[in-house]
Structure 1
Amino acid sequence: MKRRALTLGTALAVSAATATVVTTPARAMVPAPAAAPARTSAPAPLTGKAVYLSDKNGIQVLTYNGRWTSQTVGGASFAGQFSVAPDGRRIAWIDGKNRLHVLSPAGDKVVARNAAYIGPCLTPAWSADGRRIAFPLKGQSETRFVNAVDADGKNLTRIGKTLGPCHLTWSADGRTLAGYAGTTDGVHLLDTRLHVSRRAPGIKLANHVESVSPDARRIVVNTIGRNAPGGDGSWPTSFTPSIYDTVTGKKIPIPVGGKLLGARYLRDGRLVVRVAGRTANTLVVLNASGREIQRLAEPARARTFGLLGILG
């Protein structure tokens, strides 16, 4: 079965090999992003504040914080390579000149160069504390190098290289970057300290990585069948989530009924599952043991939007 690589223009020639790749960083590494703080009490319940995506009139990032605000990312020819910071106020995006930008209420700033600009799947990724941005580099090799930079453009470093540069997602402990292969053939985990990439077991074909647990032991992905189209790598407005153990390869059941539209881990380890509704979707919050601890309705306006982040 022949699958189309998820690219715009030049195809990503990403190997399906499972061999480990080790890369020596080009310069001394700065400290990893701060890990999630230890909690001594139950986290505060969610209030429904969140960030959404609408792609009907270009790329619109919409924030609900009791009221709606929106930002437009890129222009008419924008390939869709972007991600939203954990605070919901900043957007990292890559332009056609291979530049990484940070768009914020203060303006738009170029913070790094030589970023890969090929198609929508090659997105940057924010660290959980909002300090750092990881991004794939331009090039034509089977594996793709990944750099990281502070949100203000300082401390540019080399993390390593990976066979899975698409929809990069950073674990809350700062240790792991997860992404899927441009051919959709598997998901790969890049250790940001050892600079080693490995294929996640159990996942054969996938075209979206949504999030990883704080310790990267579990990963939320959209898996696809052998004859299913790979798509173009754009952020999905909804998907059927699957969760896998990244060590054993075991698929973890999601104990939530209804039509699932997505799921994502929070920095404290809770899992938020999005469930379709007739007039408004519902967010179901599970603790680390998989027990439901909260259920709240999204704004009705968000029903057809993609969910990009939970703010609180």
Structure 2
Amino acid sequence: MKYWALAAGAALAVSAAALPAQAAAPERSGAPAPLTGQGVYLSYGNGIRVLKNDGRPVWASRDASFAGQFSASPDGRKVAWIDGKGRLHVSSTAGGKTTDKVVARGAAYGGPCMTPAWSADSRRIAFPTTAGAGGSGQGDRTAVAAVGSDGKGLTTLGTTLGPCHLTWSADGRTLAGYAGDTVGVHLLTTGSRVSAKVPGIKLANHVESLSPDGRRVVVNAIGANADAGDGSWPLSFVPSIHDTRTGKKIAIPVEGRLIGARYLRDGRLVVRVAGKAGNTLVVLDSSGKTLQSLSEKPAVRRLGLLQITG
């Protein structure tokens, strides 16, 4: 069943100051350090839980009516989430103590797919906003804002027809998200504040990540008769990579049943492959060459992978 996420075309009345630049991916003189397999995972057991692969908690929802609008920071230390009053929170758990801070108001609420998106340096959060309208119809645009994880530097980024499962490129210049009715993926260029539809992707119900330069996007492309779902974070999905300018589908040179893929800040692509006892993470360079193959812990085999932290 297709649906439209709750959104409004009117922009939130926030500062129109220039977007503070996020830190660029560090220059590397040689090969990047090998991954160790550290990550942040999602569980839908008793409520929604975000945890590290050793079982340490990062965050958990406490409200049974929570719509599921959240995302984990790339460093794996924090979770941004939107409550029923349209407030954007940043929460974390360390040493058994949970901290929570409201960093912005006026966020769009009500659709699980309307998740906030972190910058690559884990310092800023982009989020869909609403001016108080009760919903949106086909063709309506959603305003997107950004704020620091400390609540400072609130600014508008523009409007887009793709506010669902927003993801931010590492260079800070592009946001990608899918349309609430699943008809296409849209890119929002933060400098010009305009958005455009990615060619070649007819239907999609999840956007996972962008390459650092925004030229490639990882999505879950679906067929015309597929169930669109409710917009919640998937525990797994069949990854499809497309060139955001031409729409060309990029082959993923990894064998097995693929259940996810994600770009890292330095441009490496990590592909998740299903296994009977435990899943495998295959790390590729920009040319598609395999750099590593890592075994996930068996305990996280059925959990969703939100971030790869090391």
Q: Same fold (TM over 0.5)?
A: yes
Shift of the 151–221 alpha-carbon distance from structure 1 to 2, 3 Å rule, reads same
Equivalent position to 2:123, from 106, 122, 131:
131
Equivalent position to 2:85, from 89, 97, 105:
97
The structural deviation recorded for 1:76 is 1.0
1:233-260: CA deviation from partner (whole Å, max 9, x where unpaired): 0000000000000011100000001000
Q: Is the 8 A contact 1:6 1:230 kept in 2?
A: no
Deviates more, 1:132-141 or 1:195-204: 132-141
Q: Which consecutive residues of structure 1, in runs of 5 or more, have no partner in the other structure?
A: 15-21
Q: Is the 8 A contact 1:23 1:196 kept in 2?
A: no
The structural deviation recorded for 1:227 is 1.1
- 1:84 maps to which residue? 72
- 1:274 maps to which residue? 272
Q: What SS does structure 1 have at the residue aligned with 2:56? A: strand
- 1:39 maps to which residue? 28
Q: What SS does structure 2 have at the residue aligned with 1:301? A: helix
Q: Is the 8 A contact 1:13 1:183 kept in 2?
A: no
The structural deviation recorded for 1:146 is 0.3
Distance in 2 (alpha carbons) for counterparts of 1:30 and 1:249: 28
Distance in 1 (alpha carbons) for counterparts of 2:48 and 2:247: 34
Distance in 1 (alpha carbons) for counterparts of 2:279 and 2:158: 39
Q: Is the 8 A contact 1:6 1:233 kept in 2?
A: no
Q: What SS does structure 2 have at the residue aligned with 1:130? A: coil
Matched, 1:114 2:103: no
Amino acid of the residue matched to residue 56 of structure 2?
Answer: T
Q: Is the 8 A contact 2:12 2:129 kept in 1?
A: no
- 1:265 maps to which residue? 263
Q: What SS does structure 2 have at the residue aligned with 1:34? A: coil
Distance in 1 (alpha carbons) for counterparts of 2:127 and 2:8: 18
Equivalent position to 1:68, from 43, 46, 55:
55
1:60-83: CA deviation from partner (whole Å, max 9, x where unpaired): 10112xx32023134211110000
Distance in 2 (alpha carbons) for counterparts of 1:36 and 1:120: 30
Distance in 2 (alpha carbons) for counterparts of 1:62 and 1:26: 34
- 1:57 maps to which residue? 46
Amino acid of the residue matched to residue 137 of structure 1?
Answer: T
Distance in 2 (alpha carbons) for counterparts of 1:233 and 1:69: 26
Q: Is the 8 A contact 1:144 1:163 kept in 2?
A: yes
Q: Is the 8 A contact 2:143 2:160 kept in 1?
A: yes
Q: Is the 8 A contact 1:6 1:232 kept in 2?
A: no
Q: Is the 8 A contact 1:13 1:182 kept in 2?
A: no
Amino acid of the residue matched to residue 172 of structure 2?
Answer: G
Deviates more, 1:237-246 or 1:26-35: 26-35
Amino acid of the residue matched to residue 68 of structure 1?
Answer: G
Distance in 2 (alpha carbons) for counterparts of 1:6 and 1:268: 34
Structure 1 segments of 4+ aligned residues over 4 angstroms from their partners: 22-26
Q: Is the 8 A contact 1:271 1:288 kept in 2?
A: yes
- In the superposition, the TM-score normalised over structure 2's length comes to 0.92
Amino acid of the residue matched to residue 32 of structure 2?
Answer: P
- 1:289 maps to which residue? 287
Q: Is the 8 A contact 1:23 1:160 kept in 2?
A: no
The structural deviation recorded for 1:30 is 3.4
The structural deviation recorded for 1:23 is 12
Amino acid of the residue matched to residue 289 of structure 2?
Answer: R
The structural deviation recorded for 1:13 is 8.9
Q: Is the 8 A contact 2:73 2:118 kept in 1?
A: yes
The structural deviation recorded for 1:134 is 0.3
Q: Is the 8 A contact 2:15 2:154 kept in 1?
A: no
Q: Is the 8 A contact 1:32 1:175 kept in 2?
A: no
- 1:169 maps to which residue? 167
Distance in 2 (alpha carbons) for counterparts of 1:256 and 1:237: 20
- 1:19 maps to which residue? none
The structural deviation recorded for 1:56 is 1.9
Equivalent position to 1:248, from 235, 246, 249:
246
Distance in 1 (alpha carbons) for counterparts of 2:236 and 2:204: 14
- In the superposition, the TM-score normalised over structure 1's length comes to 0.92
1:16-61: CA deviation from partner (whole Å, max 9, x where unpaired): xxxxxx9998521132212212221101111010000011211110
Identity rate, percent: 64
Q: Is the 8 A contact 1:148 1:159 kept in 2?
A: yes
Q: What SS does structure 1 have at the residue aligned with 2:301? A: helix
Q: Is the 8 A contact 2:116 2:165 kept in 1?
A: yes
Distance in 2 (alpha carbons) for counterparts of 1:298 and 1:216: 28
